[in-house]
Amino acid sequence: MWIRLRQIAVACEDLHSTGLDIGAVLGVEACYTDPGVAQFGLKNTLWPIGTQFLEVVTPTKENTAAGRYRNRRGGDTGYMVINQVDDINVRKARAEELGVRVAFHLHHPESGHEGIQLHPADTGGSFYELDQMMMEGGNEVGGPWHPAGKSWQPFVRTAHVSGISAAELQSPEPRRLAERWASIAELDVVDDADGNPTIAFENATIRVVEDTDGRGEGLGGIDLVTEGRDAIIEAAKQRGCYVSEDEVAVAGLRMYLR
Protein backbone atom coordinates (compact mmCIF):
# COMPACT_ATOMS: atom_id res chain seq x y z
CA MET A 1 0.00 0.00 0.00
CA TRP A 2 1.51 3.32 -1.08
CA ILE A 3 0.76 7.03 -0.96
CA ARG A 4 2.35 9.76 -3.09
CA LEU A 5 2.29 13.54 -3.02
CA ARG A 6 0.82 14.42 -6.39
CA GLN A 7 -0.61 17.93 -6.13
CA ILE A 8 -0.52 21.08 -4.00
CA ALA A 9 -3.37 23.59 -4.16
CA VAL A 10 -3.36 27.21 -3.05
CA ALA A 11 -6.20 29.69 -2.66
CA CYS A 12 -5.56 33.19 -3.97
CA GLU A 13 -7.39 36.40 -4.72
CA ASP A 14 -6.06 37.06 -8.23
CA LEU A 15 -5.53 34.02 -10.43
CA HIS A 16 -4.05 36.01 -13.29
CA SER A 17 -1.40 37.82 -11.24
CA THR A 18 -0.52 34.66 -9.30
CA GLY A 19 -0.23 32.74 -12.54
CA LEU A 20 2.24 35.28 -13.89
CA ASP A 21 4.38 34.84 -10.77
CA ILE A 22 4.29 31.05 -11.05
CA GLY A 23 5.18 31.01 -14.72
CA ALA A 24 7.98 33.55 -14.42
CA VAL A 25 9.61 32.37 -11.20
CA LEU A 26 9.22 28.61 -11.54
CA GLY A 27 9.56 28.51 -15.31
CA VAL A 28 6.52 26.25 -15.66
CA GLU A 29 3.69 26.26 -18.19
CA ALA A 30 -0.02 26.06 -17.36
CA CYS A 31 -1.60 22.82 -18.55
CA TYR A 32 -5.26 22.77 -17.57
CA THR A 33 -8.29 24.66 -16.32
CA ASP A 34 -10.88 22.38 -14.72
CA PRO A 35 -14.49 23.42 -15.40
CA GLY A 36 -15.60 21.06 -12.61
CA VAL A 37 -14.45 23.43 -9.85
CA ALA A 38 -17.21 25.84 -10.80
CA GLN A 39 -19.56 23.76 -8.63
CA PHE A 40 -17.54 25.02 -5.63
CA GLY A 41 -17.72 28.65 -6.78
CA LEU A 42 -14.13 28.58 -8.02
CA LYS A 43 -11.98 28.90 -11.11
CA ASN A 44 -8.54 27.31 -11.32
CA THR A 45 -5.37 26.65 -13.26
CA LEU A 46 -2.84 23.80 -12.92
CA TRP A 47 0.88 23.79 -13.68
CA PRO A 48 2.87 20.52 -13.90
CA ILE A 49 6.07 20.39 -11.86
CA GLY A 50 7.69 17.25 -13.20
CA THR A 51 5.03 14.59 -12.60
CA GLN A 52 3.36 16.59 -9.81
CA PHE A 53 1.15 19.66 -9.94
CA LEU A 54 0.61 23.08 -8.47
CA GLU A 55 -3.01 24.25 -8.58
CA VAL A 56 -4.32 27.74 -7.88
CA VAL A 57 -7.99 28.30 -7.10
CA THR A 58 -9.78 31.65 -6.90
CA PRO A 59 -13.35 32.19 -5.67
CA THR A 60 -15.84 33.47 -8.22
CA LYS A 61 -18.58 34.12 -5.67
CA GLU A 62 -18.97 34.92 -2.00
CA ASN A 63 -18.79 32.46 0.90
CA THR A 64 -16.84 29.61 -0.69
CA ALA A 65 -14.83 27.19 1.44
CA ALA A 66 -11.63 28.34 -0.28
CA GLY A 67 -12.49 31.98 0.25
CA ARG A 68 -13.26 31.48 3.93
CA TYR A 69 -10.02 29.55 4.40
CA ARG A 70 -8.03 32.29 2.68
CA ASN A 71 -9.64 34.93 4.86
CA ARG A 72 -8.87 33.00 8.04
CA ARG A 73 -5.20 32.82 7.07
CA GLY A 74 -4.98 36.49 6.16
CA GLY A 75 -4.40 36.29 2.43
CA ASP A 76 -3.21 33.98 -0.32
CA THR A 77 -2.34 30.63 1.20
CA GLY A 78 -1.63 26.97 0.78
CA TYR A 79 -4.96 25.18 0.72
CA MET A 80 -4.78 21.46 -0.08
CA VAL A 81 -2.35 18.55 0.05
CA ILE A 82 -3.51 16.09 -2.60
CA ASN A 83 -2.24 12.54 -2.57
CA GLN A 84 -2.41 9.61 -4.95
CA VAL A 85 -3.12 6.19 -3.40
CA ASP A 86 -3.40 2.65 -4.70
CA ASP A 87 -6.62 1.68 -2.86
CA ILE A 88 -9.14 4.40 -2.07
CA ASN A 89 -11.49 1.98 -0.33
CA VAL A 90 -8.84 1.16 2.28
CA ARG A 91 -8.31 4.89 2.82
CA LYS A 92 -12.05 5.52 3.20
CA ALA A 93 -12.28 2.76 5.78
CA ARG A 94 -9.36 4.22 7.72
CA ALA A 95 -10.92 7.69 7.78
CA GLU A 96 -14.21 6.23 9.00
CA GLU A 97 -12.40 4.23 11.69
CA LEU A 98 -10.78 7.45 12.96
CA GLY A 99 -13.99 9.45 12.80
CA VAL A 100 -12.64 11.71 10.05
CA ARG A 101 -15.49 13.07 7.97
CA VAL A 102 -15.44 13.15 4.17
CA ALA A 103 -16.12 16.74 3.10
CA PHE A 104 -16.53 15.80 -0.56
CA HIS A 105 -16.55 12.56 -2.53
CA LEU A 106 -14.88 12.76 -5.96
CA HIS A 107 -16.63 10.19 -8.13
CA HIS A 108 -15.75 10.04 -11.83
CA PRO A 109 -16.24 6.40 -12.88
CA GLU A 110 -16.28 7.34 -16.56
CA SER A 111 -12.72 8.65 -16.20
CA GLY A 112 -11.40 6.16 -13.65
CA HIS A 113 -11.03 8.66 -10.81
CA GLU A 114 -12.23 8.08 -7.26
CA GLY A 115 -11.24 10.25 -4.33
CA ILE A 116 -12.13 11.84 -1.01
CA GLN A 117 -11.52 15.27 0.46
CA LEU A 118 -11.27 14.98 4.23
CA HIS A 119 -12.80 17.60 6.49
CA PRO A 120 -10.07 20.01 7.70
CA ALA A 121 -11.75 20.32 11.11
CA ASP A 122 -11.02 16.61 11.59
CA THR A 123 -7.55 16.49 10.03
CA GLY A 124 -6.12 19.86 11.02
CA GLY A 125 -3.53 21.64 8.94
CA SER A 126 -5.28 21.91 5.58
CA PHE A 127 -7.58 20.01 3.30
CA TYR A 128 -6.18 16.50 2.91
CA GLU A 129 -7.29 14.76 -0.29
CA LEU A 130 -6.72 11.15 -1.36
CA ASP A 131 -7.26 10.04 -4.96
CA GLN A 132 -6.97 6.80 -6.87
CA MET A 133 -6.49 6.65 -10.64
CA MET A 134 -8.19 3.47 -11.85
CA MET A 135 -7.59 3.87 -15.57
CA GLU A 136 -4.84 2.07 -17.53
CA GLY A 137 -1.45 3.12 -16.20
CA GLY A 138 -3.05 4.87 -13.25
CA ASN A 139 -0.65 3.40 -10.68
CA GLU A 140 2.49 4.36 -12.56
CA VAL A 141 4.70 7.21 -11.33
CA GLY A 142 3.88 10.06 -13.66
CA GLY A 143 0.82 8.23 -14.94
CA PRO A 144 -2.60 9.71 -15.74
CA TRP A 145 -3.93 12.33 -13.34
CA HIS A 146 -7.58 13.17 -13.92
CA PRO A 147 -7.54 16.57 -12.12
CA ALA A 148 -4.99 17.82 -14.68
CA GLY A 149 -6.88 16.69 -17.77
CA LYS A 150 -5.85 14.18 -20.40
CA SER A 151 -2.94 15.99 -22.10
CA TRP A 152 -0.75 17.59 -19.42
CA GLN A 153 2.53 15.89 -20.35
CA PRO A 154 3.45 18.20 -23.28
CA PHE A 155 3.32 21.17 -20.90
CA VAL A 156 6.01 19.86 -18.53
CA ARG A 157 9.01 22.17 -18.28
CA THR A 158 11.78 21.26 -15.85
CA ALA A 159 14.59 23.74 -16.56
CA HIS A 160 13.88 25.59 -13.28
CA VAL A 161 12.10 23.04 -11.06
CA SER A 162 11.44 19.34 -11.55
CA GLY A 163 9.45 18.19 -8.53
CA ILE A 164 7.89 18.88 -5.14
CA SER A 165 9.84 17.01 -2.49
CA ALA A 166 7.98 18.18 0.61
CA ALA A 167 4.92 20.01 1.88
CA GLU A 168 5.35 22.09 5.03
CA LEU A 169 2.44 22.37 7.42
CA GLN A 170 2.61 24.71 10.38
CA SER A 171 0.87 24.49 13.73
CA PRO A 172 1.15 25.70 17.32
CA GLU A 173 1.32 21.97 18.12
CA PRO A 174 3.43 20.41 15.34
CA ARG A 175 3.70 16.93 16.83
CA ARG A 176 -0.02 16.63 17.47
CA LEU A 177 -0.77 17.59 13.88
CA ALA A 178 1.91 15.27 12.47
CA GLU A 179 0.59 12.36 14.48
CA ARG A 180 -2.96 13.02 13.25
CA TRP A 181 -1.92 13.03 9.59
CA ALA A 182 0.34 10.01 10.09
CA SER A 183 -2.53 8.11 11.68
CA ILE A 184 -4.75 8.83 8.67
CA ALA A 185 -2.00 7.82 6.22
CA GLU A 186 -0.99 4.82 8.39
CA LEU A 187 2.63 5.92 8.42
CA ASP A 188 5.19 6.72 11.11
CA VAL A 189 6.30 10.11 12.38
CA VAL A 190 10.08 10.60 12.27
CA ASP A 191 11.99 13.73 13.28
CA ASP A 192 14.10 15.37 10.59
CA ALA A 193 17.58 16.81 11.16
CA ASP A 194 16.06 19.98 12.61
CA GLY A 195 13.79 18.09 14.99
CA ASN A 196 10.62 18.70 12.99
CA PRO A 197 8.15 15.80 12.91
CA THR A 198 7.88 14.44 9.37
CA ILE A 199 5.91 11.80 7.47
CA ALA A 200 7.51 10.04 4.50
CA PHE A 201 5.32 9.39 1.47
CA GLU A 202 6.67 7.35 -1.43
CA ASN A 203 7.98 10.39 -3.29
CA ALA A 204 7.98 13.26 -0.78
CA THR A 205 7.57 14.17 2.87
CA ILE A 206 5.16 16.12 5.01
CA ARG A 207 7.04 18.33 7.46
CA VAL A 208 5.27 20.03 10.37
CA VAL A 209 6.86 23.14 11.87
CA GLU A 210 5.97 25.65 14.56
CA ASP A 211 3.66 28.46 13.51
CA THR A 212 5.94 31.50 13.68
CA ASP A 213 4.37 33.86 11.12
CA GLY A 214 1.13 34.48 13.00
CA ARG A 215 -1.05 33.02 10.24
CA GLY A 216 -2.14 30.04 12.29
CA GLU A 217 -2.33 26.39 11.40
CA GLY A 218 -2.17 25.63 7.70
CA LEU A 219 -0.16 24.70 4.62
CA GLY A 220 2.70 27.19 4.68
CA GLY A 221 5.30 25.98 2.23
CA ILE A 222 6.74 23.44 -0.17
CA ASP A 223 10.22 22.18 -1.06
CA LEU A 224 11.09 22.31 -4.76
CA VAL A 225 13.63 20.12 -6.53
CA THR A 226 15.61 22.94 -8.12
CA GLU A 227 17.41 22.71 -11.44
CA GLY A 228 17.89 26.40 -12.30
CA ARG A 229 18.42 28.33 -9.08
CA ASP A 230 19.98 31.43 -10.67
CA ALA A 231 17.08 31.86 -13.09
CA ILE A 232 14.56 31.40 -10.27
CA ILE A 233 16.27 33.98 -8.07
CA GLU A 234 16.55 36.53 -10.87
CA ALA A 235 12.88 36.14 -11.83
CA ALA A 236 11.81 36.26 -8.18
CA LYS A 237 13.59 39.58 -7.72
CA GLN A 238 11.88 41.00 -10.81
CA ARG A 239 8.44 39.80 -9.67
CA GLY A 240 8.82 40.84 -6.02
CA CYS A 241 8.90 37.23 -4.82
CA TYR A 242 12.49 37.08 -3.56
CA VAL A 243 13.10 36.10 0.07
CA SER A 244 16.65 34.68 0.07
CA GLU A 245 18.99 32.62 -2.07
CA ASP A 246 17.19 29.52 -0.80
CA GLU A 247 13.58 30.73 -0.67
CA VAL A 248 11.01 32.53 -2.77
CA ALA A 249 7.43 33.45 -1.88
CA VAL A 250 4.88 32.61 -4.55
CA ALA A 251 1.12 32.05 -4.38
CA GLY A 252 1.03 32.48 -0.61
CA LEU A 253 3.60 29.73 -0.09
CA ARG A 254 7.14 29.66 1.17
CA MET A 255 8.97 27.84 -1.62
CA TYR A 256 12.30 26.39 -0.53
CA LEU A 257 14.86 25.73 -3.26
CA ARG A 258 16.40 22.32 -2.57
- Are 87 and 106 in the same domain? yes
Residues of the chain short of pLDDT 50, as ranges, are none
* C-beta of residue 142 within 8 angstroms of C-beta of residue 164: no
221 and 98 in a common domain: no
Residues 14 and 133 in one domain: yes
Based on the domain organization, do 171 and 151 belong to the same domain? no
Yes or no: say if 209 and 196 are a contact pair by the CB < 8 Å rule. yes
Write out pLDDT tens, residues 178-223: 999 999 999 999 999 999 999 999 999 999 999 999 999 999 999 9
Q: Where do runs of H (alpha helix) occur along 106-220? A: 120-123, 174-185
Residues 138 and 215 in one domain: no
- Residue 199: give its domain's CATH number: 3.10.180.10
SS3 101: coil
Calculate the CA 49 to chain-centre distance.
Answer: 11
* Mean pLDDT estimate for the chain: 96
Together in a domain, 39 and 110: yes
**Based on the domain organization, do 142 and 169 belong to the same domain?**
no
CB atoms within 10 A of CB 11: 31
What's the pLDDT score for residue 16? Answer: 97
Query: Residue 102 burial by CB count (10 A; 0-12/13-18/19+): exposed, middle or buried?
Result: middle
- Residue numbers of the domain that contains 236: 161-257
Enter the pTM of the model. Answer: 0.97
Q: Could you report the per-residue pLDDT of 156-168, keeping only the tens digit for each? A: 999 999 999 999 9
Whether residue 141 is found in the same domain as residue 39: yes
Task: Give residues with Cβ within 8 angstroms of 115, minimum separation 6.
Answer: 88, 105, 106, 129, 130, 131, 132
The domain total for the chain is: 2
Ramachandran region, residue 51 (left: φ > 0; alpha: ψ -120 to 50; beta: rest): alpha
Rg (C-alpha) for the chain, rounded Å, is 17
